[in-house]
Every structure is written in C-alpha cells, then in structure tokens.
Amino acid sequence: MTDSLFQAIENQIKRAQSNIYTALPASVISFDGHTVQCKPMINRVLANGEEISIPPLVDVPAQFPHAGGFCITVPIKPGDEGLVVFSSRCIDGWFASGNASKPLDNRINDLSDGFFIVGCNSVPNKIPDFYHEGVSMQTDDGQTHIRLINGTIYIKGNIEHEGNVKQVGNYNQTGSFSQTNGNTNSSGTITAQDVKTNKGIDLNTHTHIGVQSGNSTTGVPK
C-alpha cells in the first residue's frame, strides 16, 4: 500500500469518526420539566483547522433518579452544566411511544439522540462546600441541608410539615415551643400520655385537682 493511499484511507476514517459523538459537556439554555435545550461546550474542528460551534441541542431528555413510583428532582436552571450522552441508535420511536421500536433513522451516535446528565461540572462551577462525611442533600452553600451518617440524620433549616407525626423514643428540645390555636391557623389539640393511667391528656385544657396553696404537690391531671 502506497503512502498516498494509506493517507487517503486514514483521512477518510478520521472524517467518519468526526461525525460520531459519544458524550459532550453542555450548558443548559432552557428546561421544560422533561427535556433540556443545551449548548455543547466543546467546539468542533474541521479538517482545514477551522473551529466552529456545535448548534444547540433540543429535546434532550434530562436524567433524574426515577423508579418504582418515586423520584428525586432538582430545578434545572439556565447555565447549569451537565453531560450529554449520545445513543448509538436513533431514539425517536422510543422517545415518542415508550415502547420498543426499530430506529426510525440510520444515524449512529448522532447529536440528535442525546440524554442530559445534570451536575457534571467544570472547575468554576464545582460544589463549593462539598460534604465528605456522609450523604448530603443541600443548597450549594451548605446552609440548608439534610445529611445522613451512620445512625444519625442532621437537618438544618426551617421545617414546614403537613401530615401526622408519630415518634418512638424520647424527645429532647432546646428552645421554646409554641402552638397557634383558637380560630387562627391551627386546629386540634396537643396531648401527652399519662405514665400512671396510660390515658391521653389534652395539654390545652387539662387541669389539676387537689392543688394546695403554698405546696407544689398537685393531683392527677385530667
């Protein structure tokens, strides 16, 4: 094989490879709750050395943990970074129907068939205060978080709860406790369990009997 023929074959292989994409970092332009429009952050270099930007990618499904009727989501915003992974075959049939489908186009590892994995960051956009001691769900600055280590869950931030609460074990509190009742925001009562009678006691309305003046001894609450 002559050098010129070898060079021609090698150049043809490189041209073919230049049109095959496996993964690219990208920056979000917009997000609709399912797919992102994003800008690839690696430019393409042509055979003549010219550098060109890859056009924005559209209708790119965003990846979140989602299975068994549960999901974990984050609010993807413009400028957020991630990685677009390109399918080896056309995904259009599956994307529209959710069913097994033959490729509707002959494209292979094409820019049209990407999946966006959020959170693959460049150095300027890395997590600024990474928590190394366990699992953390947090704001970037770490000022609001839920963190798990062996045997303990830490929560920092205000908590708004809707629903019932059931606790097994002791409860220790530092700071004050207040309840809004009457005809304002809260309904219901606060009760405690009498360890002697095992009866529920309404802490809003209960009274003591047998109270003696000058003596701290009281009767059984009721």
pLDDT in tens, 128-174: 989 999 999 999 999 999 999 999 999 999 999 999 999 999 988 88
Pair (98, 61) in one structural domain:
yes
In tens, the pLDDT along 14-72 reads: 777 777 899 999 999 999 999 999 999 999 887 778 899 999 999 999 999 999 999 99
Residues 71 and 142 in one domain: no
* Unique residue bearing structure tokens 């003596």: 215
- Do 24 and 115 lie in a common domain? yes
Confidence of residue 183 (pLDDT cuts 50, 70, 90): very low
Residues 212 and 120 in one domain: no
* Domain count for the chain: 3
> Does 177 map to a domain?
no
State whether 78 and 88 are in the same domain. Answer: yes
Please indicate whether residue 163 or residue 180 has the higher confidence score (pLDDT). Answer: 163
Q: What single-letter amino acid sits at 164?
A: N
Quick one: pLDDT at residue 32?
97
Question: Per DSSP, what are the bridge partners of residue 200?
Answer: 193
Tell me the C-alpha distance between 135 and 127, whole Å.
14
Percent of the chain whose pLDDT exceeds 90: 60
Q: Which of 195 and 141 is assigned the larger pLDDT?
A: 141
**Host domain of residue 146:** 127-159
Examine residue 166 and state whether it is found in any structural domain, yes or no: no
pLDDT of amino acid 215: 54
Q: Are residues 62 and 153 in the same domain?
A: no
Instruction: Write a three-state SS string for the chain.
Output: CCHHHHHHHHHHHHHHHHCCCCEEEEEEEEECCCEEEEEECCCEECCCCCEECCCCEEEEEEECCEECCEECCCCCCCCCEEEEEECCCCCHHHHHHCCCCCCCCCCCCCCCCEEEEECCCCHHHCCCCCCCCCEEEECCCCCCEEEEECCEEEEECCCCCCCCCCCCCCCCCCCCCCCCCCCCCCCCCCEEECCCCCCEEECCCCCCCCCCCCCCCCCCCC
Whether 13 maps to a domain, the answer reads no
